[in-house]
Amino acid sequence: MSSENDFQDSCHLNEQRNSHHSEKVKKNLVTRLNRIEGQIRGIKALIEKDTYCDDVITQISATQSALNSVGRLLLEGHLRTCVVEKIQNGDEEIIDELLVTVGRLMKK
């Protein structure tokens, strides 16, 4: 997937919650999200054209998979940077936050 170097360290700048992705990672994420946005517009067009339901569902499934991929990429970066940094600084509350986050992702 991504290397640890693709994610910048320090998720907190002046105690604000920020994410610091490299330009390479940001570009990758934006590209994926633009593709997903196009898929959503395509699904809308299929519905407007009364396309066979199974074909629409197939496109929805592909779009969900693409969105899940973006979520996994973001989670990986979060784990490699923010979570590691907070644990190294003695902040174990990040584990509770992480469990909630993973729970949200797994609901999908």
Q: Is the sign of the CA dihedral 52, 57, 63, 65 positive or negative?
A: negative
To which H or E segment does residue 16 belong?
A: strand 16-17
So what's the pLDDT on residue 10? 46
Instruction: Collapse the DSSP code of 7 into the 3-class scheme (helix H, G, I; strand E, B; otherwise coil) and give the result.
Output: strand
pLDDT tens for each residue of 62-95? 999 999 999 999 999 999 998 999 999 999 999 9
* Mean pLDDT (whole number) for 21-47: 95
For the whole model, what pTM was predicted?
0.78
- 4-107, CATH topology level: Methane Monooxygenase Hydroxylase; Chain G, domain 1 (1.20.58)
Q: Count CA within 13 A, CB hemisphere, residue 8.
A: 13
* pLDDT band with cut points at 50, 70 and 90 for residue 108: low
> How high is the pLDDT of residue 64?
96
Quote the mean pLDDT of the chain. Answer: 87
